[in-house]
Each structure stands twice: as C-alpha cells, then as structure tokens.
Amino acid sequence: MIVTGAGRGIGREFVRTLARAGCRLSLVARSADELADAAREVRALGAEAVATRADVALPADCEAVAARTLEACGRIDALVNNAGIGMRIVSETFNTVPVKFWDVPPQAYAEIMSVNACGPFYMARAVAPAMLAQGFGRVINVSTSPVTMVRPGYVPYGPSKAALEALSRAMAAQLEGTGVTVNVILPGGATDTALLPGSGPDRRGADGQLLAADVMNPLLAWLVSDASSGVTGRRFVGKLWDASLPPDEAALRAMQPRPDLPAIL
C-alpha cells in the first residue's frame, strides 16, 4: 500500500494505523528525514516498509514510486493520495487575514495545484495498470470540505481540492466494474497539523476547534479492506464515524449523499 505525504501529520497517522494492521507499506515523502523516521516507526510496529523520497508533482517520481513498490511488494493494493500543500506558502496569517486571490504569487498557486491536484493524477496513473492487471485496487484521495473549496482567502488550496474531487469521480466512473475503486475522505474540519500556522491551546481553524490528526484513521482502515468492495465514487467524512457502531454501519453513516449532477456554483 502506497501512502504519500507519509512523513508527518495525517499521513503519519495513516501509516501508524496501516502498520498496526500488518500492511506492507510503501512510504512517500519529500523530506528524507521524516521519511526515514516514518519507516523506522513502521518497522518498530512489526510491519514491512519501503521508503521512497519523491515529489508527487513530478510524473517521473510517481512512476518510480510505482515501480519500486511493485519490485518490493509484488503488487499494489492501495494508493492513499494524502500529500498536500496548504496556504502557508502563500501567507502565515491566511487563517486570520484572508488573502486576496490577486495577491497570491503565481509560483505559490502553481505549486499548490501541482501537488494537490496533479499529484494524485500522476500517482493514480502510475499505479492503475498494476491494479487493473490484478483486478483489485483502492485509490483513496484526501480532500476537504465544500465550504473550504470556495472559501474566500483559500485560493488556491480550496480550488485544488475541488479539482481533486472532480478527478476522483471521473476516475471512479471509468474504473467501474474492474475491482478498482476510487473514494474521497476528508476530516470534516481543520485538523491539528502543520498545514495551519501557530501552536498552543488557542490555535484554531476557520471553523473553530481543531480535529485530531487521526480522525480519518477508522475510515481508511475500512476503505482498504475487503468490506468496502463495490463502494466507489463516494466521499466520507472522518468526524462522522461512530466508533460505537459496527464498521460497515459506521462507514454508511460517514458516507455523504452523492448528487446525480454535482455543482459548485
């Protein structure tokens, strides 16, 4: 199973959950130090890991990740597109002082879109042939809330996730019936990760109190399992998972309605 952005934050929580489940992991991150630390933790938890320093914004890097994973693991059962860049490269005060879109540097706009919207495409494109050949695969894309997608001052982070969800739906439709599914997960609010500036108990997201970075872990575990077979083209909200319910019921509660004709405006 490939996890991008595996070195810290939500990705690191995903890695811990999958390692505890005994999954063989292919870890991807841009930071060599964070990547090595994540691999050590996986092995300490008794799971196997191959670590590849790569930038998902580069198609060649994504192809290399897929090839190395196949060489080390023999197959690719899941791709978790978690790597992402937030608004901090635009402004360190974006969550308190909204950034006018005309003040966003073109280079920052391009970098965020390249990682958040293009990266999942490059990675899915790289792994799809192997998944199709084996008749099984899970592509799980980490998104954000619709409110954030169109929130003033969140350009280009919000629009990058809207693009990711459109891509996810199109990919799911083309993969229907192949055994390869594509779904979207999101926390349901801002999470306590480095995507937000600041520190301490007064740190807040745009919607208030921060969610724990592990809020989507139960959803991820369910989606990579056989229990999610046939579920594709759907979005799931982490904070709606009810741990008191059996996993299949909890997943159904966390799954959002899917309109026949999606719209932003």
Cα first-last separation, the chain? 36
The CA distance from 103 to 38, in Å, is 36
Instruction: For 217-247, write each residue's pLDDT tens digit.
Output: 999 999 999 999 999 999 999 999 999 999 9
pLDDT at 263: 84
pTM score of the predicted model = 0.95
Rg for the chain, CA atoms, rounded:
17
The three-point CA angle 156-157-158 to 5° equals 95
- Do the Cβ atoms of 188 and 254 come closer than 8 Å? no
pLDDT at 206: 66
User: Which domains are seen in the chain, by residue range?
Assistant: 2-254 (3.40.50.720)
pLDDT at 233: 97
- Do the Cβ atoms of 96 and 160 come closer than 8 Å? no
Q: Which residues of the chain have pLDDT under 70?
A: 200-208
The CA distance from 170 to 57, in Å, is 20
Annotated catalytic residues are 157
Burial class (CB in 10 A: 0-12, 13-18, 19+), 135: exposed
pLDDT at 254: 98
pLDDT at 262: 84
Which residues contact residue 8 at a Cβ distance below 8 angstroms, ignoring those fewer than 6 apart? Answer: 29, 31, 34, 193, 194
pLDDT at 209: 77
